[in-house]
Amino acid sequence: MLYGIALMGKTYYNVRCFVMKKTYALENLDCANCARKMEEAIRRIDGVQDAQVNFLTQKMTVSAEEADFAAIMKQVVKVCRRVEPDCSIIL
């Protein structure tokens, strides 16, 4: 959707993006510190609105732009492997 706003004779356009939120199971996440590092790294990926990695429940929730969600999740997997090589994301 495209929205136009007219201010002082100029029109500014804003593209509205839709956000998708998904939760994934994790396997072999060994420590809470690694979960924190993964969460911080995921949040730095372009297009990610929010990320939560819970060590106790072994779950990860990612909120990102719907249009690029598949590409963003590929980056998430790479980042998580870099932080915790033994951890797997059940997609």
What tens digit of pLDDT does each residue of 33-68 get?
Answer: 999 999 999 999 999 999 999 999 999 999 999 999
Q: What is the pLDDT of residue 82?
A: 96
Q: Which two tokens stand for residue 61?
A: 């929730």
Tell me 42's DSSP state. Answer: H
DSSP state of 67: G
Residues 2-11: tens digit of each pLDDT: 444 445 555 5
Number of Cα atoms under 13 Å in the Cβ half of residue 70: 1
Give me the pLDDT at residue 20, please: 95
Q: What is the rounded average pLDDT of the residues 17-21?
A: 88
